[in-house]
Amino acid sequence: MAGNLNASTSIEIASISGDTTTHRNVASSIADADEGTLTRQQTSSSDPYSLSRGLKSPSEINLIKVNASNTSKKRKNPHAKNPSGKELKEFYENQNEKIKKLLKSIEEHRSEAKETAEDTALKYKIAIWGSFAANICLSILQVFAAVRSGSLSLFATMADSIFDPMSNIILMASRRAIKKVDEKKFPSGKARLETAGNITFAFVMSAVSLILIVVSARDIAAGAEAETKSFYLESVISVGAAFATKFSLFLYCWALKDIYSDVYVLWRDHRNDLFVNGFGILTSVGGSKLKWWIDPTGAIIISVVILGLWLKAAWEEFMLLVGTAADLDTQQLITYISMTHSSEILQLDTVRAYHSGPRLIIEVDVVMDPNCSLKHSHDIAEELQMKLESLPDVERAYVHIDYETTHSPEHFVKKEL
């Protein structure tokens, strides 16, 4: 099969089919199982590389699992590293799913994304507005708990809680701004605004954490006359209520975190708050029941954790702005779509997919017959561009036409300024 791909993808069409570890998945039309058998009804036009031959029925997968388990029991060398029956079962199940994804049409990908968005629209609003309302109430509750007790650990949880509503406002404002775009002023859209907002907020939270670390360290250095601090039950109950609320929101956002990027940010924040509030309660009570220094020490630990989590989040968002590569499954899907788009496409010279904020930019270099007319080659490339741009989470696609693959790269990664 003709297909020379750029090293940026490290993917060849040939590696997608056959019995290699990059087996992809099954189209829903071929996934009809009757007592463990799959019907393979894919035509050559919809499955030109016979990916469906790599499908395994449930009965075949179970048989492979049993055989692998029996082989491992009979193995003379117990130190030999061979995949277990469970690992093989997971591999072939993942392979089936990946083949299904590749063999789906663009229309199916679009309709699935649209259907998912419609089905989860109400849940999305509840996640966003529910988190916002809860964060406002919890910030008031945590201010009361911290001021009432004077506990530095609870002040650390309070600082984190106060900025949560601000995070919600940034997310909602970014989402609203993204939908209202002046194409003349922002020709590439405003999707990166959300990423920039997340980075800004991450550094604000990092600054607050550093302030709390300094205050807590000064408190430890100053010492205390009493062996323990005063205990305030109402403060502990308030933070405990915040912990329970955050746990509920964490579970609710779990199902939506892989669909909406802003819900993922909320889910991550709820997850972080579970540790912050839980550990804050323990160290605050420890400072009032055991030793006074447990409280400021706990505040330092909480602040360091918050600092680390938000710096990690900022780095991840920053890498999206820089342009980190898309995951391998996405690159393989783009490669397969491009190679099967038209019989006039002889080879793929380059396939790149990288982030521009939360969405993707795609670059594809296709090789066509040098005798093909300009009009015909343009129409094929334009159709491919529109097809790729219709994929979920794709911001822009660029398709370049070439007639051979022996030339130097069109674009230099390292520029001489």
Note the pLDDT of residue 249: 93
Confidence band of 337 (pLDDT split at 50, 70, 90):
very high
What tens digit of pLDDT does each residue of 373-402 get? 999 999 999 999 999 998 888 989 999 999
Note the pLDDT of residue 41: 39
> Residue 265 pLDDT more than 90?
no
The 3-state secondary structure of the chain, one letter per residue: CCCCCCCCCCCCHHHHCCCCCCCCECCHHHCCEECCEECCCCCCCCCCCCHHHHCCCHHHHHHHHHHHHHHHHHCCCCCCCCCCHHHHHHHHHHHHHHHHHHHCCHHHHHHHHHHHHHHCHHHHHHHHHHHHHHHHHHHHHHHHHHHHHCCHHHHHHHHHHHHHHHHHHHHHHHHHHHHCCCCCCCCCCCCHHHHHHHHHHHHHHHHHHHHHHHHHHHHHHHCCCCCCCCCCHHHHHHHHHHHHHHHHHHHHHHCCCCCCHHHHHHHHHHHHHHHHHHHHHHHHHHHHHCCCCHHHHHHHHHHHHHHHHHHHHHHHHHHHHHCCECCHHHHHHHHHHHHCCCCCEEEEEEEEEEEECCEEEEEEEEEECCCCCHHHHHHHHHHHHHHHHCCCCEEEEEEEEECCCCCCCCCCCCCCC
Full set of structural domains in the chain with CATH: 19-104 (no CATH), 120-322 (1.20.1510.10), 328-402 (3.30.70.1350)
What tens digit of pLDDT does each residue of 146-178 get? 999 888 889 888 888 888 888 778 777 877 777
What tens digit of pLDDT does each residue of 341-369 get? 999 999 999 999 999 888 899 999 999 99
> Residue 246 pLDDT more than 90?
yes
Within 8 A by CB and 6+ apart from 30, the residues are 38, 39, 40, 41, 42, 52, 55, 103
> Residue 105 pLDDT more than 90?
no
Note the pLDDT of residue 32: 38
